[in-house]
Amino acid sequence: MSSAELNIVQSCHTSDRNSHHSEKTKQNLQARLNRIDGQIRGIKGMVEKDAYCDDVLNQIAAVQSALNSVGRILLEGHMKSCVIERIQEGDNTVIDELLTTMNKLMK
């Protein structure tokens, strides 16, 4: 695993089901989520001010794209660490868990 991949998730422990993200990854995710939060507050303001529907819809599309990016980052880290660890430990139920989660993300 490269150092960039190690920055995504350092270790997942199946007993307490926590992931341990590097500080760099946490800061990246928090910054992205803060921007998304700001975009959502902006959309709320647009609706309150009766902004043109197409403009609001474009902002909603931007938020959905940003959330998808956060999800991809987390999914990549999860697959490269937690999923691999659990499979190596003989816990193949993680595959069904992952498929359920991916189906939710793809809706």
Q: List pLDDT tens digits, range 45-61.
A: 999 999 999 999 999 99
What is the chain's mean pLDDT, rounded? 87
Contact between 77 and 21 (Cβ < 8 Å): yes
CA angle, 61 as apex, 55 and 62 as ends, to 5°? Answer: 90
The predicted structure's pLDDT at residue 16: 63
What is the rounded distance in angstroms from the CA atom of residue 74 to the CA atom of residue 68? 10
Summarize the confidence of residues 78-95 as an average pLDDT.
Answer: 93
User: Using the 8-state DSSP alphabet, how is residue 13 labeled?
Assistant: E
Give the start-end residues of each E strand in the chain: 11-13, 18-20
- Residue 29 confidence (pLDDT): 96
Model-wide pTM > 0.85:
no
Q: What pLDDT sits at residue 65?
A: 97
pLDDT at 107: 84
pLDDT in tens, 9-33: 445 544 567 767 788 989 999 999 9
Residue 47's pLDDT is what?
98
